[in-house]
Amino acid sequence: MNMKRDPVKAIFDLKQFGEYGDVNPSITDSATYTFMQAKTMTDVFHGEQEGCFLYSRHWNPSNKYLADAMAALEGTQQAWVTASGMSAITAALLQLCNSGDHIISSMTTYGGTFAFLSNYAPKFNIKSTFVDITDLEAVKNAITPNTRVIYTESMTNPMLQISDIPKLAALANEHGIKLIVDNTFTPMIIQPALLGAHVVVYSMTKFVNGKNDCVAGAICGTDEFINSLIDVNSGTAMLLGPVLDPLRSSSILKNLHTLHIRMQQHSRNALYLAEKLKEEGLVVSYPGLPGHKGHGLMKTMMNPDFGFGGMLAIDLGTGERAARFMELMEMHDVGYLAVSLGYFKTLFSNSGRSTSSEVPKEIQDEMGLSEGLVRFSVGLDHDIEATWQRIKHCLDMME
Protein backbone atom coordinates (compact mmCIF):
# COMPACT_ATOMS: atom_id res chain seq x y z
CA MET A 1 0.00 0.00 0.00
CA ASN A 2 1.39 3.30 -1.13
CA MET A 3 -0.12 5.66 1.39
CA LYS A 4 0.50 7.54 4.59
CA ARG A 5 -2.38 5.90 6.46
CA ASP A 6 -4.72 3.20 5.27
CA PRO A 7 -8.29 4.45 5.83
CA VAL A 8 -9.75 1.16 4.58
CA LYS A 9 -7.89 -0.84 7.22
CA ALA A 10 -9.01 1.68 9.84
CA ILE A 11 -12.67 1.02 8.96
CA PHE A 12 -12.31 -2.75 8.56
CA ASP A 13 -10.39 -3.06 11.85
CA LEU A 14 -13.44 -1.81 13.74
CA LYS A 15 -14.98 -5.30 13.48
CA GLN A 16 -18.49 -4.11 14.22
CA PHE A 17 -20.91 -7.01 14.92
CA GLY A 18 -24.61 -7.29 15.64
CA GLU A 19 -25.93 -8.50 19.00
CA TYR A 20 -26.45 -12.09 17.71
CA GLY A 21 -23.10 -12.24 15.96
CA ASP A 22 -24.69 -10.75 12.84
CA VAL A 23 -21.90 -9.71 10.47
CA ASN A 24 -23.77 -6.44 10.00
CA PRO A 25 -24.52 -4.55 13.21
CA SER A 26 -28.13 -4.90 14.33
CA ILE A 27 -30.38 -1.97 13.52
CA THR A 28 -31.62 -0.19 16.62
CA ASP A 29 -35.14 0.78 15.76
CA SER A 30 -35.85 2.77 18.90
CA ALA A 31 -36.31 6.41 19.82
CA THR A 32 -35.81 5.87 23.55
CA TYR A 33 -33.99 3.46 25.91
CA THR A 34 -34.91 1.97 29.24
CA PHE A 35 -32.89 2.01 32.48
CA MET A 36 -32.99 -0.26 35.52
CA GLN A 37 -32.01 2.55 37.86
CA ALA A 38 -33.29 6.11 37.82
CA LYS A 39 -29.91 7.50 38.82
CA THR A 40 -28.22 6.01 35.77
CA MET A 41 -30.67 7.91 33.56
CA THR A 42 -29.86 11.19 35.37
CA ASP A 43 -26.11 10.52 35.08
CA VAL A 44 -26.36 9.77 31.35
CA PHE A 45 -28.43 12.93 30.87
CA HIS A 46 -25.71 15.02 32.44
CA GLY A 47 -22.90 13.29 30.54
CA GLU A 48 -21.58 11.70 33.71
CA GLN A 49 -22.04 8.11 32.56
CA GLU A 50 -20.86 6.82 29.22
CA GLY A 51 -21.78 3.67 27.32
CA CYS A 52 -25.57 4.00 27.73
CA PHE A 53 -28.05 5.32 25.23
CA LEU A 54 -30.73 7.76 26.32
CA TYR A 55 -32.65 9.12 23.35
CA SER A 56 -31.98 8.81 19.63
CA ARG A 57 -31.73 12.52 18.89
CA HIS A 58 -28.59 12.36 21.04
CA TRP A 59 -27.16 8.93 20.17
CA ASN A 60 -28.50 5.78 18.62
CA PRO A 61 -26.41 2.56 18.41
CA SER A 62 -26.84 2.32 14.61
CA ASN A 63 -25.73 5.93 14.25
CA LYS A 64 -22.79 5.24 16.56
CA TYR A 65 -21.56 2.40 14.33
CA LEU A 66 -21.58 4.65 11.29
CA ALA A 67 -20.11 7.59 13.21
CA ASP A 68 -17.29 5.38 14.52
CA ALA A 69 -16.56 4.22 10.96
CA MET A 70 -16.51 7.83 9.70
CA ALA A 71 -14.13 8.79 12.55
CA ALA A 72 -11.92 5.84 11.56
CA LEU A 73 -12.00 6.97 7.92
CA GLU A 74 -10.89 10.47 8.89
CA GLY A 75 -8.59 9.58 11.78
CA THR A 76 -10.55 11.78 14.20
CA GLN A 77 -11.44 10.93 17.79
CA GLN A 78 -15.17 10.98 17.11
CA ALA A 79 -17.90 11.73 14.59
CA TRP A 80 -21.66 12.36 14.57
CA VAL A 81 -24.01 11.61 11.70
CA THR A 82 -26.62 14.04 10.42
CA ALA A 83 -29.74 14.04 8.28
CA SER A 84 -27.98 15.88 5.41
CA GLY A 85 -24.69 17.41 4.40
CA MET A 86 -26.15 20.86 4.94
CA SER A 87 -27.08 20.00 8.52
CA ALA A 88 -23.51 18.78 9.15
CA ILE A 89 -22.14 22.07 7.79
CA THR A 90 -24.60 24.35 9.58
CA ALA A 91 -24.41 22.51 12.91
CA ALA A 92 -20.59 22.64 12.88
CA LEU A 93 -20.57 26.35 12.00
CA LEU A 94 -23.25 27.35 14.50
CA GLN A 95 -21.50 25.39 17.25
CA LEU A 96 -18.29 27.35 16.72
CA CYS A 97 -19.73 30.80 16.01
CA ASN A 98 -21.70 33.21 18.19
CA SER A 99 -23.36 36.48 17.34
CA GLY A 100 -20.72 38.98 16.22
CA ASP A 101 -18.32 36.31 14.94
CA HIS A 102 -16.79 36.20 11.49
CA ILE A 103 -16.14 33.38 9.02
CA ILE A 104 -13.70 33.31 6.12
CA SER A 105 -14.95 30.99 3.40
CA SER A 106 -13.72 29.82 0.06
CA MET A 107 -15.61 31.81 -2.56
CA THR A 108 -15.95 28.59 -4.53
CA THR A 109 -18.09 26.42 -2.35
CA TYR A 110 -21.28 24.41 -2.69
CA GLY A 111 -24.15 26.84 -3.46
CA GLY A 112 -26.15 25.84 -0.37
CA THR A 113 -23.20 26.59 1.87
CA PHE A 114 -22.65 29.89 0.09
CA ALA A 115 -26.33 30.80 0.58
CA PHE A 116 -26.22 29.84 4.28
CA LEU A 117 -23.15 31.99 4.88
CA SER A 118 -24.21 34.97 2.81
CA ASN A 119 -28.00 35.06 3.41
CA TYR A 120 -28.85 33.06 6.52
CA ALA A 121 -26.01 33.34 9.05
CA PRO A 122 -26.22 37.18 9.02
CA LYS A 123 -29.65 36.78 10.73
CA PHE A 124 -27.58 35.74 13.76
CA ASN A 125 -25.06 38.52 13.18
CA ILE A 126 -22.49 36.06 11.83
CA LYS A 127 -20.77 37.62 8.83
CA SER A 128 -18.64 35.96 6.18
CA THR A 129 -15.89 37.08 3.85
CA PHE A 130 -15.44 35.05 0.67
CA VAL A 131 -11.91 34.70 -0.68
CA ASP A 132 -9.98 32.77 -3.30
CA ILE A 133 -8.93 29.96 -0.97
CA THR A 134 -5.86 29.18 -3.07
CA ASP A 135 -4.56 32.69 -2.31
CA LEU A 136 -3.17 32.31 1.23
CA GLU A 137 -2.29 35.99 1.40
CA ALA A 138 -5.96 36.84 0.74
CA VAL A 139 -7.04 34.43 3.49
CA LYS A 140 -4.54 36.00 5.89
CA ASN A 141 -5.64 39.54 5.01
CA ALA A 142 -9.29 38.62 5.66
CA ILE A 143 -8.63 37.61 9.29
CA THR A 144 -10.18 39.98 11.84
CA PRO A 145 -10.19 39.80 15.66
CA ASN A 146 -13.71 38.27 15.36
CA THR A 147 -12.77 35.51 12.90
CA ARG A 148 -13.66 32.10 14.37
CA VAL A 149 -13.63 29.82 11.35
CA ILE A 150 -11.85 29.32 8.05
CA TYR A 151 -14.19 27.22 5.90
CA THR A 152 -13.27 25.40 2.73
CA GLU A 153 -13.76 22.26 0.66
CA SER A 154 -10.74 19.98 0.01
CA MET A 155 -11.68 20.05 -3.67
CA THR A 156 -14.04 22.93 -4.24
CA ASN A 157 -17.46 22.70 -5.85
CA PRO A 158 -17.66 23.33 -8.79
CA MET A 159 -14.29 24.89 -9.71
CA LEU A 160 -12.30 21.86 -8.46
CA GLN A 161 -9.68 24.05 -6.81
CA ILE A 162 -7.45 22.29 -4.29
CA SER A 163 -7.23 23.78 -0.79
CA ASP A 164 -3.82 23.75 0.84
CA ILE A 165 -5.05 22.19 4.09
CA PRO A 166 -1.69 22.11 5.98
CA LYS A 167 -1.04 25.80 5.24
CA LEU A 168 -4.62 26.85 6.06
CA ALA A 169 -4.42 24.86 9.31
CA ALA A 170 -1.13 26.54 10.23
CA LEU A 171 -2.66 29.95 9.57
CA ALA A 172 -5.74 29.03 11.61
CA ASN A 173 -3.63 27.77 14.53
CA GLU A 174 -1.52 30.92 14.50
CA HIS A 175 -4.68 33.00 15.03
CA GLY A 176 -6.67 30.67 17.31
CA ILE A 177 -9.19 29.99 14.52
CA LYS A 178 -10.80 26.64 13.61
CA LEU A 179 -10.41 25.18 10.13
CA ILE A 180 -13.50 23.32 8.85
CA VAL A 181 -13.04 21.28 5.68
CA ASP A 182 -15.85 19.78 3.60
CA ASN A 183 -14.37 16.58 2.17
CA THR A 184 -17.43 15.50 0.19
CA PHE A 185 -15.59 15.23 -3.18
CA THR A 186 -12.54 13.35 -1.91
CA PRO A 187 -13.29 10.67 0.71
CA MET A 188 -10.39 8.19 1.16
CA ILE A 189 -8.27 10.36 -1.16
CA ILE A 190 -7.75 13.24 1.26
CA GLN A 191 -7.95 12.96 5.06
CA PRO A 192 -8.20 16.63 6.10
CA ALA A 193 -7.95 16.05 9.86
CA LEU A 194 -4.61 14.29 9.43
CA LEU A 195 -3.43 17.35 7.50
CA GLY A 196 -4.45 19.69 10.33
CA ALA A 197 -8.18 20.48 9.83
CA HIS A 198 -10.00 20.79 13.15
CA VAL A 199 -13.38 19.64 11.84
CA VAL A 200 -14.23 17.60 8.74
CA VAL A 201 -17.77 17.68 7.35
CA TYR A 202 -19.39 15.50 4.73
CA SER A 203 -22.40 15.23 2.58
CA MET A 204 -22.62 11.42 2.79
CA THR A 205 -25.37 11.73 0.17
CA LYS A 206 -22.56 11.63 -2.41
CA PHE A 207 -19.59 9.25 -2.71
CA VAL A 208 -19.71 7.91 0.86
CA ASN A 209 -23.12 6.34 0.33
CA GLY A 210 -22.80 6.15 -3.44
CA LYS A 211 -26.34 4.99 -4.18
CA ASN A 212 -28.31 8.25 -4.39
CA ASP A 213 -31.04 6.68 -2.27
CA CYS A 214 -30.83 9.08 0.67
CA VAL A 215 -29.54 12.39 1.99
CA ALA A 216 -27.10 12.27 4.92
CA GLY A 217 -24.09 13.98 6.46
CA ALA A 218 -21.32 13.61 9.01
CA ILE A 219 -19.22 15.79 11.29
CA CYS A 220 -15.80 14.42 12.33
CA GLY A 221 -13.66 16.03 15.03
CA THR A 222 -12.25 15.80 18.51
CA ASP A 223 -14.11 14.24 21.46
CA GLU A 224 -14.42 17.72 22.88
CA PHE A 225 -16.03 19.15 19.76
CA ILE A 226 -18.45 16.28 19.11
CA ASN A 227 -19.46 16.20 22.79
CA SER A 228 -20.09 19.95 22.66
CA LEU A 229 -22.36 19.44 19.61
CA ILE A 230 -24.57 16.97 21.49
CA ASP A 231 -24.51 18.68 24.88
CA VAL A 232 -28.09 18.67 26.19
CA ASN A 233 -27.89 22.30 27.27
CA SER A 234 -25.92 23.98 24.50
CA GLY A 235 -25.21 21.54 21.66
CA THR A 236 -26.34 22.70 18.23
CA ALA A 237 -26.91 19.14 17.07
CA MET A 238 -28.87 18.23 20.20
CA LEU A 239 -30.97 21.40 20.18
CA LEU A 240 -31.63 21.84 16.46
CA GLY A 241 -32.00 18.07 16.11
CA PRO A 242 -30.70 17.20 12.61
CA VAL A 243 -30.07 13.56 13.51
CA LEU A 244 -29.81 10.82 10.87
CA ASP A 245 -32.42 8.07 10.86
CA PRO A 246 -30.83 4.81 12.15
CA LEU A 247 -32.26 2.72 9.29
CA ARG A 248 -30.33 4.97 6.90
CA SER A 249 -27.21 4.81 9.05
CA SER A 250 -27.17 1.07 8.77
CA SER A 251 -27.52 1.10 4.98
CA ILE A 252 -24.83 3.79 4.59
CA LEU A 253 -22.46 1.78 6.82
CA LYS A 254 -22.69 -1.19 4.44
CA ASN A 255 -21.99 1.06 1.45
CA LEU A 256 -19.03 2.65 3.23
CA HIS A 257 -17.24 -0.71 3.12
CA THR A 258 -17.04 -0.57 -0.68
CA LEU A 259 -16.07 3.10 -0.86
CA HIS A 260 -12.37 2.41 -1.55
CA ILE A 261 -13.13 0.26 -4.60
CA ARG A 262 -15.66 2.75 -5.90
CA MET A 263 -13.29 5.71 -5.48
CA GLN A 264 -10.59 3.87 -7.43
CA GLN A 265 -12.98 3.21 -10.32
CA HIS A 266 -14.48 6.74 -10.26
CA SER A 267 -10.93 8.14 -10.40
CA ARG A 268 -9.75 5.79 -13.16
CA ASN A 269 -12.76 6.63 -15.32
CA ALA A 270 -12.57 10.38 -14.65
CA LEU A 271 -8.86 10.51 -15.55
CA TYR A 272 -9.52 8.60 -18.75
CA LEU A 273 -12.33 10.96 -19.80
CA ALA A 274 -10.39 14.07 -18.75
CA GLU A 275 -7.47 13.05 -20.96
CA LYS A 276 -9.74 12.28 -23.92
CA LEU A 277 -11.66 15.55 -23.56
CA LYS A 278 -8.38 17.44 -23.36
CA GLU A 279 -7.12 15.72 -26.52
CA GLU A 280 -10.29 16.97 -28.24
CA GLY A 281 -9.12 20.51 -27.45
CA LEU A 282 -11.80 21.25 -24.83
CA VAL A 283 -11.23 23.37 -21.73
CA VAL A 284 -11.04 20.66 -19.05
CA SER A 285 -10.65 21.00 -15.32
CA TYR A 286 -9.51 17.80 -13.58
CA PRO A 287 -6.98 17.82 -10.72
CA GLY A 288 -5.43 14.62 -12.08
CA LEU A 289 -4.20 16.43 -15.19
CA PRO A 290 -0.67 17.81 -14.79
CA GLY A 291 -1.85 21.17 -16.21
CA HIS A 292 -4.38 21.67 -13.37
CA LYS A 293 -3.29 24.42 -10.98
CA GLY A 294 -3.77 22.22 -7.90
CA HIS A 295 -2.24 19.03 -9.35
CA GLY A 296 1.12 19.29 -7.57
CA LEU A 297 -0.46 20.34 -4.29
CA MET A 298 -2.99 17.53 -4.40
CA LYS A 299 -0.17 15.02 -4.89
CA THR A 300 1.40 16.16 -1.63
CA MET A 301 -1.87 15.65 0.30
CA MET A 302 -3.51 12.59 -1.23
CA ASN A 303 -3.52 8.85 -0.71
CA PRO A 304 -2.40 7.97 -4.26
CA ASP A 305 -4.09 4.55 -4.19
CA PHE A 306 -7.45 6.23 -4.76
CA GLY A 307 -6.58 8.58 -7.60
CA PHE A 308 -7.73 12.16 -8.13
CA GLY A 309 -11.45 11.57 -7.69
CA GLY A 310 -14.52 11.32 -9.88
CA MET A 311 -15.28 15.01 -10.47
CA LEU A 312 -14.35 16.85 -13.64
CA ALA A 313 -15.61 19.92 -15.46
CA ILE A 314 -15.55 21.21 -19.01
CA ASP A 315 -16.29 24.69 -20.23
CA LEU A 316 -18.50 24.90 -23.30
CA GLY A 317 -18.57 28.69 -23.32
CA THR A 318 -22.29 29.41 -23.12
CA GLY A 319 -25.24 28.14 -21.11
CA GLU A 320 -27.03 27.21 -24.35
CA ARG A 321 -24.17 25.00 -25.56
CA ALA A 322 -23.96 23.40 -22.13
CA ALA A 323 -27.70 22.66 -22.16
CA ARG A 324 -27.59 21.16 -25.67
CA PHE A 325 -24.56 18.99 -24.84
CA MET A 326 -26.14 17.68 -21.63
CA GLU A 327 -29.39 16.84 -23.43
CA LEU A 328 -27.44 14.99 -26.11
CA MET A 329 -25.47 13.06 -23.49
CA GLU A 330 -28.65 12.03 -21.70
CA MET A 331 -30.21 10.97 -25.01
CA HIS A 332 -27.13 8.91 -25.91
CA ASP A 333 -26.86 7.09 -22.56
CA VAL A 334 -23.74 8.76 -21.22
CA GLY A 335 -25.52 9.28 -17.91
CA TYR A 336 -28.17 11.48 -16.35
CA LEU A 337 -28.71 15.23 -16.47
CA ALA A 338 -29.01 15.55 -12.69
CA VAL A 339 -27.50 17.44 -9.80
CA SER A 340 -25.61 15.59 -7.07
CA LEU A 341 -22.62 13.32 -7.43
CA GLY A 342 -20.92 10.13 -6.34
CA TYR A 343 -23.49 7.87 -8.03
CA PHE A 344 -22.60 4.69 -9.91
CA LYS A 345 -23.90 6.27 -13.11
CA THR A 346 -22.41 9.45 -14.54
CA LEU A 347 -24.29 12.62 -13.58
CA PHE A 348 -23.82 16.01 -15.20
CA SER A 349 -25.19 19.47 -14.57
CA ASN A 350 -24.59 23.06 -15.56
CA SER A 351 -23.29 24.42 -12.24
CA GLY A 352 -24.01 28.13 -12.78
CA ARG A 353 -27.69 27.34 -13.43
CA SER A 354 -28.10 24.63 -10.79
CA THR A 355 -25.96 23.81 -7.74
CA SER A 356 -24.19 27.19 -7.79
CA SER A 357 -27.17 29.28 -8.88
CA GLU A 358 -27.36 30.69 -5.32
CA VAL A 359 -24.06 32.44 -6.00
CA PRO A 360 -24.67 35.93 -7.47
CA LYS A 361 -23.55 36.40 -11.08
CA GLU A 362 -20.80 38.88 -10.20
CA ILE A 363 -19.26 36.39 -7.75
CA GLN A 364 -19.60 33.58 -10.29
CA ASP A 365 -17.64 35.83 -12.66
CA GLU A 366 -15.05 36.64 -9.99
CA MET A 367 -14.39 32.97 -9.28
CA GLY A 368 -14.22 32.21 -13.00
CA LEU A 369 -17.41 30.12 -13.11
CA SER A 370 -18.38 30.19 -16.76
CA GLU A 371 -22.01 29.92 -17.89
CA GLY A 372 -20.93 27.00 -20.03
CA LEU A 373 -19.38 24.94 -17.22
CA VAL A 374 -20.64 21.37 -17.20
CA ARG A 375 -19.69 19.44 -14.07
CA PHE A 376 -19.44 15.67 -14.32
CA SER A 377 -19.55 13.12 -11.57
CA VAL A 378 -18.05 10.24 -13.50
CA GLY A 379 -19.67 6.89 -12.81
CA LEU A 380 -18.42 3.35 -12.34
CA ASP A 381 -18.72 2.35 -16.03
CA HIS A 382 -16.90 -0.89 -16.77
CA ASP A 383 -16.15 0.03 -20.38
CA ILE A 384 -15.14 3.67 -20.17
CA GLU A 385 -13.78 3.55 -23.73
CA ALA A 386 -17.35 2.87 -24.95
CA THR A 387 -18.62 5.74 -22.79
CA TRP A 388 -16.02 8.01 -24.37
CA GLN A 389 -17.23 7.01 -27.85
CA ARG A 390 -20.75 8.07 -26.85
CA ILE A 391 -19.47 11.41 -25.51
CA LYS A 392 -17.42 11.92 -28.67
CA HIS A 393 -20.53 11.29 -30.76
CA CYS A 394 -22.36 14.00 -28.77
CA LEU A 395 -19.46 16.41 -29.25
CA ASP A 396 -19.51 15.76 -32.99
CA MET A 397 -23.23 16.54 -33.04
CA MET A 398 -22.48 19.92 -31.45
CA GLU A 399 -20.45 21.05 -34.48
Where is 267: in which H helix or E strand? Answer: helix 259-279
185 close to 311: Cβ distance less than 8 angstroms: yes
Using the rule CB under 6 A, give the single segment among 82-90, 119-127, 255-263, 274-282 that binds ligand PLP: 82-90
Q: Is the peptide bond preceding residue 158 cis, with omega within 30 degrees of 0?
A: yes
Looking only at residues 138 through 177 of this chain, which bind ligand PLP when binding is defined by CB under 6 A?
Answer: 153, 157
Among 106, 163, 203, 251, binds ligand PLP (CB under 6 A): 203
Whole-number Å distance between alpha carbons of 133 and 138:
8
Decide if residue 189 touches ligand PLP (CB under 6 A). no
CA–CA dist 259, 382 (Å, integer):
16
Query: Which residue in 69, 81, 86, 298 binds ligand PLP (CB under 6 A)?
Result: 86
Q: Is 70 in the site for ligand PLP (CB under 6 A)?
A: no
Q: Given the complex with ligand PLP, which of 147 and 203 has the nearer CB atom?
A: 203
Does residue 101 belong to the site contacting ligand PLP (CB under 6 A)? no
Q: For ligand PLP, which residue has the nearest CB? A: 85
Q: Quick one: which of 28, 128, 184, 346 contacts ligand PLP (CB under 6 A)?
A: 184
Q: Does 85 bind ligand PLP (CB under 6 A)?
A: yes
Q: 243-253 in b/e burial notation, b at 16+ Cβ within 10 A? A: bbbbebbbbbb
- Between strands 283-285 and 217-221, the pairing is unpaired
Q: Kindly give the pairing relationship between strand 78-82 and strand 217-221.
A: antiparallel
C-beta of 288 vs 342, nearer to ligand PLP = 342
Residue type, 225: F
Q: Would you tell me the crossing angle of helices 384-398 and 319-331 to the nearest 10 degrees?
A: 130
The answer to whether the beta carbons of residues 160 and 295 sit under 8 Å apart is no
Sequence letter at residue 109: T
Tell me which residue of 259, 224, 284, 292 sits closest to 80, measured CA to CA: 224
Among 84, 163, 346, 350, binds ligand PLP (CB under 6 A): 84
Complex with ligand PLP: residue 84 or 303, whichever CB lies closer: 84
Which of 7, 61, 112, 310 touches ligand PLP by CB under 6 A? 112
| Mask for 303-342, x = binds ligand PLP (CB under 6 A) | -------------------------------------x--
Binding site for ligand PLP (CB under 6 A): 84-86, 110, 112, 153, 157, 182, 184, 203, 205, 215, 217, 340, 355
